[in-house]
Structure 1
Amino acid sequence: MMLSGELFIGGQWIEGRGNDLTSLDPAEQTSIWHGRMADDEQALDVVEVAVKGGQTWRAMGFEERLSIVKSFEDQLRENKDTLALLISRETGKPFWDAAGEAASMIGKIAISVDAYHERTGVRETEANGVTLVTRHHAHGVMVVLGPFNFPGHLPNGHIVPALLAGNSVIFKPSEQTPAVAELTIRLWEAAGLPKGVINLVHGDAGTARQLISHDDVAGVLFTGGVKAGLSIHRDLAGHPDKIVALELGGNNPIVAWGAHDTLGAARMIVRSAYLSGGQRCTCARRLIVGKDESSQNLMKKVVELAGRLAINHPRADPNPFMGALISEHARDSVLRGQAHLEGLGGDVLLKAGAMDLGPAFVSPGIIDMSNAAAASDDEIFGPLLQVYQVDEFEEAVALANNTRFGLASALLSDDSSLFEPFLNQSRAGIVNINQPTAGASGRAPFGGIGLSGNHRPAGYYAADYCAYPRASMVRSNASDETPLPGEQDR
């Protein structure tokens, strides 16, 4: 399927009139997509188009909307290998990782349909001769702002529930992954989606700001970094009329306490920290362990495994564990973060470093911050793990909670008596026991607290933010047989 580098507005592919935009394959440093951003006039026009498209879409009814969403699912299945290859090329993640993302996009359809019926839909009860009806109605035009790390799956997790509910969508993807966005929209077009129901606009933060602040936009569903999320929140302060659902990042802890299978626990820690090159919002950033001999052996095993991870071109044979980061800038951010932590007094156990494979490749790092002069509560979005050694389990839990974020946390332990205290006391939206922090089930709510976000616009609860409940009381006739107070006295 050919990509044009164009915008998709009102069912038409048109050239942007704004600044040039190019997407690079971070592993090969070659251009894979080139186009232009929307200018101010196009950003205004797309909202008007989406309003009209939404009116048509809502009038179709759920079953007709569902049939088109199912056609999109068919398109995903037919093009899953093409989609996975493009995801790998544009993000630098290994092909196996990209193939998993494409599969998640397919799986999201059935999950979203189930969530629509369970979380929204229509409910009726009878009380005193009156039928109490709860219906759910679409908000209107929803702006979906997508991230670079899962350019297919995460926007898809917003778009599908929004469309099922009857909303129209304006999708502005990350400037770093416009190619995956275009392919996704072309699959929606092939599925027979009516004109104006979904629209694709390329642009920067200014474009996003213009879209979300438009009076006819009902809400924004955003997955991305905390700085961008805070900017959106500030821009829409004082606008209770708009849905603002933000899924942001995390400084996620993984506590290893009494896990006797050192190798097995180390594998979970490495997966937690370094999946997708550490470019998942649920990746573990902090490992908290005891000071006993078993914990020391675990740390040594983690360093050993991380130090010999297979890192290579993302489409190499055999497929590596890690490919490239999204860009040279991302690699440099990891190296700067490591230098900052070392400057705070961190002890480097495994040094992250630039690699000869290319400017976007970096080896994983581990730094012990137990004796650092100050703790750092920033999300370093890459393969860098901080270690903290403590004396008591209660201290480990307190340290795990000592963050402005609250997305994911995990406990690795064979001591079942620790499970309940950890689950009860952990301050996070996702709390796992003997499972990695990275990765989540689409059949569960996904999101966090604190600086990790304000709602659950991804995962199973996404349906909640795509429709509002409307309560009605219905009687079969307009006759009120109850006299008014004092009526009989006249």
Structure 2
Amino acid sequence: MRPSELISTDPCTGDVIWTGATGGVAQAVAAARAAAPGWARTALADRIAIVRAFKAAVEAEADGFARLIARETGKPLWETRTEVASVAGKVEISITAQAERAGERAGEAAGVRQALRHKPHGVLAVLGPYNFPAHLPNGHIVPALLAGNTLVFKPSEQTPAVADFMGRLWAQAGLPAGVLNFVHGGGDVGRDLAGADIDGLLFTGSAHVGAALARQFADTPQRILALEMGGNNPLVAWDVSDIDAAAALVAQSAFLSAGQRCTNARRLIVRDGDERLLAAVLGLADRLIVGVPFDEPQPFMGPVIANAAADGLQRGWDALVGGGGKVLRPLNRPQPDRPFLSPAVIDVTGGTPSDDELFGPILQIIRVPDWDAAIAAANATRFGLAAGLIGGDTALFDDFWARSRAGIVNWNRPTNGASSAAPFGGVGHSGNHRPSAYYAADYCAFPVATLASDTPAGAITTGLMP
């Protein structure tokens, strides 16, 4: 492969899906900068019309869109169809959020008019992830365009074909040239883009990369940096009555999307001695189908994104075993040259739990003697994205909500159940600004407060010499 060429392959087969050139950051940023004044002056109603035309294009191409995502990520077709629906659904949610959180406000007090309006930052960069290559960057792109920003989007190097497909849909919607620009490549291109003449960067990805971006932005406080960086999410099961339902919640929380959601549960915390739920989870994990996207019956999960990701997960698993973990269900890889992994469960009680985000189908079990120990174990992470409680009563959940440290706290629901119509994000190493969801309007524009009178109204009445 030439250094200037990027190749995307199907993780299930290795077949080439897309090839294209890398780099071009300077040209893309210059195009966005040139288009910025005109797009900022475009009436909000016209910007709304274009994003609604994009929604219509997504809906018209939904089947082909979903199939492409499935091919490039390996996710089951049923799941990629839900992703495409989320891309379309994000439009109206963003229009509402723009009006409610970044709209115009006016009033008058003591004869002085007061106004609150918002301005776009200018040129924003978007760095997208591979796990939801359409939905998550779309959660930045739509609000940023509505606010009047122009954009340069670098998708994950694992999913350039999905990004190009999105670009064609935006062109069909009538988005003017230069308003949304695309660059492709790996980390070097991302670093170049972060250091370019931009007014801010919107990121969804790993804590490692997010921390590097924060360091790169340290000397430019005038630039916005919105980060969503994942989590090491706890799920506490306590006084569970319906074991089968609870096991289903655990399996969905831990293994949905092959464990490649930032909100997947990584740690299941249970009362020591309660074996019923663990037995049910292991029995259900044995039945989960791992397969290719277009299989019938549809699989529960596909492969992880690439062989390199599977290799890294194997190293993480080996570290858990080496740290004293007891294997309850092994991490199997049926095809050494393909990244299919089985759901894996390991008891790390008394061992060395990982506080890295093991971005795959690995669930760590932690046994505790009492409720206070459960809360302490849940909070024993530098992350703070999602947390969940299964079982208990309202009083127990209220205590869990009050004492847990996370931006998403669910009860008797999977940890990876989050609404685009609500804020999304967490605390600690999970990020800032609540990127990609309802509060995206907050970081896509800055507020301008105004006091105004028709004529100058000023007088100095004290402190003057006669």
TM-score (norm 1): 0.93
Q: 1:366 is matched with which residue: 345, 364, 389?
A: 345
**Distance (whole Å) between structure 1 residues aligned to residue 118 and residue 286 of structure 2:** 52
Query: 1:200 aligns to what?
Result: 182
SS in structure 2 at match of 1:354 = coil
Distance (whole Å) between structure 1 residues aligned to residue 353 and residue 303 of structure 2? 28
Return the alpha-carbon distance in structure 2 between the equivalents of residues 180 and 479 of structure 1: 57
What per-residue deviation string (whole Å, max 9, x for no partner) do you get for residues 113-168 of structure 1? 01101111111122111111111100000000000000000000000000000000
- Paired position in structure 1 for 2:41: 59
Give the superposition deviation at 1:479. Answer: 4.0
Distance (Å, rounded) in 2 between the aligned partners of 1:191 and 1:375: 48
User: Per-residue deviation at 1:365?
Assistant: 0.3
- For the pair 1:120 / 2:98, whether they are aligned, the reply is no
- Which secondary structure state, in structure 1, belongs to the residue aligned with residue 293 of structure 2? coil
Q: How far has the Cα of 1:357 moved from its partner?
A: 9.3
1:24 and 2:9 matched: yes
**Offset of 1:81 from its aligned partner?**
0.8
SS of equivalent to 1:64: helix
Q: Which of 147, 153, 172 does residue 165 from structure 1 map onto?
A: 147
Contact 1:443 1:459 in 2 (8 A): yes
Cα offset, 1:265, TM superposition: 0.3
Deviation at 1:476, TM superposition (A): 2.5
Shift of 1:101: 0.4
Write the letter of the residue equivalent to 1:478.
P
Corresponding letter in the other structure for 1:464: D
Please say if 1:106 is aligned against 2:88.
yes
Aligned twin of 2:168: 186
Letter in 2 for 1:444: A
Distance (Å, rounded) in 2 between the aligned partners of 1:339 and 1:188: 44
Shift of 1:301: 0.3
Give the structure 2 partner of residue 404 of structure 1.
382
Distance 2:309 2:353 in 1: 22
Does the aligned pair in 2 maintain the 1:313–1:357 contact within 8 Å? no
Residue correspondences, number: 465
Aligned position for 1:265: 246
Structure 1 residue identity aligned to 2:128:
G
CA contact (8 A) 2:269 2:367 kept: yes
In the TM superposition, 1:54-453 aligns within 5 A as 54-214=36-196, 216-292=197-273, 295-356=274-335, 359-372=338-351, 374-453=352-431
SS of 2:272's equivalent? Answer: coil
For residue 19 of structure 2, what is the amino acid of its counterpart?
A: H
Measured after TM superposition, the shift of residue 259 of structure 1 is: 1.4
Verify the 8 A CA contact 2:13 2:338 in the aligned structure 1: no
- What letter is aligned with 1:20? E
Counterpart CA distance in 2 for 1:479 and 1:446 is: 45
Q: 1:484 aligns with which of 458, 461, 465?
A: 461
Matched, 1:36 2:13: no
1: distance between equivalents of 2:27 and 2:310?
38
- Specify the SS of the correspondent of 1:234: helix
1:473 aligned counterpart, secondary structure: strand
Residues 483/228 of structure 1: CA separation in 2 closer, same or farther (3 Å cut): closer
Alignment partner of 2:130: what SS?
Answer: coil
Measure how far apart 1:455 and its partner are.
Answer: 2.0
Given residue 107 of structure 1, which amino acid in structure 2 is its aligned partner?
G
Letter in 2 for 1:423: W
Give 3-state SS (helix, strand or coil) of 2:410's partner: strand
Matching residue's letter, 2:256: L
C-alpha distance in 2 between matches for 1:259 and 1:247? 32
**Conserved in 1, the CA contact under 8 Å of 2:353 and 2:364?**
no
Q: Identity over the aligned pairs, expressed in percent?
A: 48
Q: CA RMSD in A?
A: 1.4
Per the alignment, do residues 86 and 357 of structure 1 end up closer, same or farther by CA in structure 2, a change over 3 Å counting?
A: farther
Contact 1:134–1:470, Cα closer than 8 Å, also in 2: yes
- Which 4+ residue blocks in structure 1 deviate beyond 3 angstroms? none
